Amino acid sequence: MRVVMKFGGVSVKDGKNILHCANLVKRYAKDNEIVVVVSAMAGVTDALQNAAYKCCYERSLGFIKLFIAELANRHYEAVDFAVKNKSIKSKVLATIDNLIDELEKVLTGISYLGELTKRSEDYILSFGERLLAPIFSASLLSLGVDSVALTGGDAGIITDNNFGRARPLPESYQIIKNRLEPLISIKRTVPVVTGFIGATENGVITTLGRGGSDLTATLIASAIDADEVWLWKEVDGVMTTDPKIVPEAKVIPELSYQEAMELSHFGAKILHPKALEPVMAKKIPVRIKNTFNPDAKGTVIKEETQSTEDIVKAISLIERAGIINVSGAGFDFAEIMAEVFRRLAIARVHVIMVAQSSSELNLSIVVDKSDLDKAMKALSGLNNGTVRISKKDNIAIVSAVGAGMAGTPGVAGRIFSALGREGINVIMISQSCSEYNVSFAVSKEEGRRAVKVIHDEFGLGK
């Protein structure tokens, strides 16, 4: 089998975990062709981002020394634990030192300049994965598994220059194939590729957006026609809802691509929302597996799932959202809406869902809470006598997803009567045409309770 395996940040958070993951790879590499994709150690990307801002705005050189020392130590310790062979160890330490040196210079430069562009931010964020891949690869080598560490750019992931959310260019597929296939099928080596990062045609480092390692994995899988993608995480699979909200939540054995995409769009932390695009056309299944319980089946995301009795399969929650209301009378609805969405697109506001009420000219647009002010600002010019723009903060979005909903009448009715019975006030409703999901807004305070009520109503914990 040909498998792309991606290890998330918690799976590789320290030397002990890295060694454990490398042993897992060793176990599968005997009989399979494997490409490994790694995230940065848990928390490192966030720390790099904080450091970048701090250097730019506070310009404290003392801070850089401390930050660099801590980051270097964390990685040295990992090497110590994960790489037992002496000569392999000294080689990887030299690589780490070079990277750490480079990062220190970049941060120092940022603090002198007091300027942080999107391009330099991507460069700084890339260090998490660039430090990790050589360590993982060295750990494999020291276990006797032939391996080579590559950056996303080395592996052939060429992107546009939309820093912070770069899109891979179509020619990447062929380049990735040309570079990786000889390694896995002829050299029988295990490439360890940095997740999350790519490079422009000129070799400038870009990132694919936070959580982008999933996308790296699926992109590579599609390019090399892998049989499966395995996303190793610290949970047993995709759950019916967040077990922190509903302790009875259960693992879902199978999801369709469509269901998984709806869930990710509506806040479930399954995988990067764009990650399924590259594998869907080729029908490559994506498995979510638990690093710390590797023999558990996990969840498989694929084209068709076996029909189940479940109407609603999972419930997701976005706790930080806001609503923009566009209302008024005496204007051309389509014209105003075109203008509204044009402005939101230019301001790069992430729109979560929309609903239109038919009784009057009113459109409600749900956005990320962090985008709410930006959205209001972008639309402020439209606020005149005829068009009114207003906002509502502290909103939660609950979304019930399941392909079985399409063929079952009365699902929405059941959802809303259950909420009514519990006295939960629904602010806005949106039922997508796919009929795979019913989503609605409640106040932030009632979000978790609403999830519980629906989870119970459809017996998902049983």
The binder of 156, among Mg ion, ligand ASP, none, by C-beta within 5 to 8 A per type, is: none
Question: Residues 31-70 vs Mg ion: string with x where CB under 5 A?
Answer: --------x-----x-------------------------
Residue nearest to ligand ASP (CB): 213
Which residues of this chain interact with ligand ASP, rule CB under 6 A?
9, 39-40, 45, 128, 195-196, 210-213
The binder of 349, among Mg ion, ligand ASP, none, by C-beta within 5 to 8 A per type, is: none
Shortest reach from residue 109's CB to Mg ion, in Å: 24
The binder of 278, among ligand ASP, Mg ion, none, by C-beta within 5 to 8 A per type, is: none
List the end-to-end C-alpha distance of the chain, in Å, as a whole number: 35
Shortest reach from residue 214's CB to ligand ASP, in Å: 6
Order the strands of the 351-357 sheet from edge to edge.
351-357, 361-368, 314-328, 387-401, 437-443, 428-431
Secondary structure E strands in 2-43: 2-7, 33-38
Using CB under 5 A as the binding rule, whether residue 212 contacts Mg ion is answered as: no
Residue placing its CB nearer to Mg ion in the complex, 45 or 241:
45
CA atoms within 13 A on the CB side of 123: 17
Identity of the amino acid at 26: K
Using CB under 5 A as the binding rule, whether residue 9 contacts Mg ion is answered as: yes
Q: What span, in angstroms and rounded, lies between the C-alpha atoms of 8 and 41? A: 8
Three state DSSP letters for 398-425? EEEECHHHCCCCCHHHHHHHHHHHCCCC
Binders in 94-113 for Mg ion, by CB under 5 A: none
Q: Which two tokens stand for residue 370?
A: 């962090």
The binder of 414, among ligand ASP, Mg ion, none, by C-beta within 5 to 8 A per type, is: none
Q: Which two tokens stand for residue 282?
A: 């080729």
Shortest reach from residue 240's CB to Mg ion, in Å: 25
Using CB under 5 A as the binding rule, whether residue 11 contacts Mg ion is answered as: no
Using CB under 5 A as the binding rule, whether residue 195 contacts Mg ion is answered as: no
Closest to 301 (Cα-Cα) out of 218, 400, 408: 218
| DSSP per-residue codes, 94-120 | HHHHHHHHHHHHHHHHHHHHT---HHH
Residue placing its CB nearer to ligand ASP in the complex, 42 or 311:
42
The binder of 211, among ligand ASP, Mg ion, none, by C-beta within 5 to 8 A per type, is: ligand ASP
Residue placing its CB nearer to ligand ASP in the complex, 191 or 447:
191
